[in-house]
Amino acid sequence: MHYGVKIEQFWMFSEGGRKFIGLEKNSHVCLAIYDKYDGFGNLRSLQVTGIAAMVEPFSEEYNAHAAFKKIPLDALKKLPSPMNLICVTPTRIDALFSDFKKDGYSSRQVLHQLA
Protein backbone atom coordinates (compact mmCIF):
# COMPACT_ATOMS: atom_id res chain seq x y z
CA MET A 1 0.00 0.00 0.00
CA HIS A 2 1.25 3.50 -0.84
CA TYR A 3 0.60 6.37 1.57
CA GLY A 4 0.34 9.47 -0.64
CA VAL A 5 -0.23 12.79 1.07
CA LYS A 6 -0.52 16.23 -0.45
CA ILE A 7 -0.80 18.98 2.11
CA GLU A 8 -0.75 22.56 0.99
CA GLN A 9 -1.98 24.65 3.93
CA PHE A 10 -3.82 24.43 7.23
CA TRP A 11 -6.54 27.00 7.96
CA MET A 12 -7.98 27.68 11.41
CA PHE A 13 -10.18 30.23 13.09
CA SER A 14 -9.15 31.35 16.57
CA GLU A 15 -10.46 33.81 19.12
CA GLY A 16 -6.94 35.11 19.70
CA GLY A 17 -4.93 35.63 22.83
CA ARG A 18 -1.33 36.28 23.73
CA LYS A 19 -0.02 33.97 21.03
CA PHE A 20 -0.94 36.55 18.39
CA ILE A 21 1.50 39.07 19.83
CA GLY A 22 4.23 36.53 19.15
CA LEU A 23 3.05 35.91 15.58
CA GLU A 24 3.62 39.55 14.75
CA LYS A 25 7.30 39.12 15.67
CA ASN A 26 7.86 35.55 14.51
CA SER A 27 5.65 33.75 12.00
CA HIS A 28 7.33 30.35 12.48
CA VAL A 29 4.84 27.99 14.13
CA CYS A 30 4.26 24.37 15.04
CA LEU A 31 0.93 22.58 15.41
CA ALA A 32 -0.02 19.06 16.39
CA ILE A 33 -2.80 16.83 15.11
CA TYR A 34 -3.36 13.52 16.88
CA ASP A 35 -5.79 10.77 17.79
CA LYS A 36 -6.44 9.87 21.41
CA TYR A 37 -3.68 7.69 22.82
CA ASP A 38 -4.82 4.07 22.59
CA GLY A 39 -1.56 2.20 23.20
CA PHE A 40 1.89 2.27 21.70
CA GLY A 41 0.87 0.09 18.72
CA ASN A 42 -1.86 2.53 17.68
CA LEU A 43 -0.03 5.83 17.38
CA ARG A 44 -1.44 8.36 14.89
CA SER A 45 -0.17 11.92 14.90
CA LEU A 46 1.27 14.76 12.86
CA GLN A 47 3.55 17.55 13.97
CA VAL A 48 3.50 20.39 11.46
CA THR A 49 6.19 23.08 11.37
CA GLY A 50 5.52 26.04 9.10
CA ILE A 51 4.94 29.70 8.44
CA ALA A 52 1.77 31.37 9.70
CA ALA A 53 -0.05 34.25 8.04
CA MET A 54 -2.99 36.18 9.41
CA VAL A 55 -5.89 36.70 6.98
CA GLU A 56 -7.59 40.10 7.00
CA PRO A 57 -11.01 39.80 8.70
CA PHE A 58 -13.92 39.90 6.26
CA SER A 59 -11.66 39.82 3.20
CA GLU A 60 -12.77 37.64 0.30
CA GLU A 61 -10.47 34.84 1.49
CA TYR A 62 -11.71 35.15 5.09
CA ASN A 63 -15.35 35.06 4.01
CA ALA A 64 -14.75 32.03 1.79
CA HIS A 65 -13.24 30.06 4.68
CA ALA A 66 -16.08 31.07 6.99
CA ALA A 67 -18.54 29.77 4.39
CA PHE A 68 -16.56 26.52 4.06
CA LYS A 69 -16.68 26.05 7.84
CA LYS A 70 -20.39 26.97 7.80
CA ILE A 71 -19.82 29.94 10.12
CA PRO A 72 -22.39 32.65 9.31
CA LEU A 73 -20.78 36.03 8.55
CA ASP A 74 -23.55 37.75 10.51
CA ALA A 75 -22.50 35.83 13.62
CA LEU A 76 -18.84 36.73 13.08
CA LYS A 77 -19.69 40.41 12.61
CA LYS A 78 -21.61 40.49 15.91
CA LEU A 79 -18.55 39.42 17.93
CA PRO A 80 -16.88 42.12 20.07
CA SER A 81 -13.64 41.59 18.13
CA PRO A 82 -13.20 39.70 14.85
CA MET A 83 -12.31 36.03 14.90
CA ASN A 84 -8.76 35.51 13.61
CA LEU A 85 -8.13 33.32 10.56
CA ILE A 86 -4.67 31.81 10.45
CA CYS A 87 -3.15 30.11 7.42
CA VAL A 88 -0.16 27.82 8.08
CA THR A 89 2.00 26.76 5.15
CA PRO A 90 3.99 23.67 6.18
CA THR A 91 7.76 23.52 5.81
CA ARG A 92 8.07 20.13 7.52
CA ILE A 93 5.60 17.47 8.63
CA ASP A 94 6.55 14.66 11.00
CA ALA A 95 4.09 11.77 10.87
CA LEU A 96 3.92 9.04 13.48
CA PHE A 97 1.61 6.21 12.41
CA SER A 98 1.99 2.70 13.82
CA ASP A 99 0.15 1.30 10.77
CA PHE A 100 3.10 2.17 8.49
CA LYS A 101 5.04 -0.74 10.06
CA LYS A 102 2.45 -3.23 8.72
CA ASP A 103 3.57 -2.28 5.20
CA GLY A 104 7.28 -2.46 6.00
CA TYR A 105 7.91 1.25 6.57
CA SER A 106 9.19 3.08 9.60
CA SER A 107 6.35 4.32 11.82
CA ARG A 108 7.96 7.79 11.71
CA GLN A 109 7.99 9.60 8.36
CA VAL A 110 9.14 13.13 7.54
CA LEU A 111 7.90 15.29 4.71
CA HIS A 112 9.88 18.42 3.84
CA GLN A 113 8.26 21.14 1.75
CA LEU A 114 9.50 24.56 0.74
CA ALA A 115 7.33 27.36 2.06
Q: What is the DSSP letter of 99?
A: G
Beta strands in the chain (DSSP E): 10-14, 28-34, 44-55, 84-97, 108-112
Q: What is the pTM of this model?
A: 0.80
Number of H helices, E strands in the chain: 3, 5
Segment 47-105, tens digit of pLDDT:
999 999 999 999 999 999 999 999 999 999 999 988 999 999 999 999 999 889 888 99
pLDDT of 43: 86
Dihedral sign for Cα 103, 44, 111, 8, please: positive
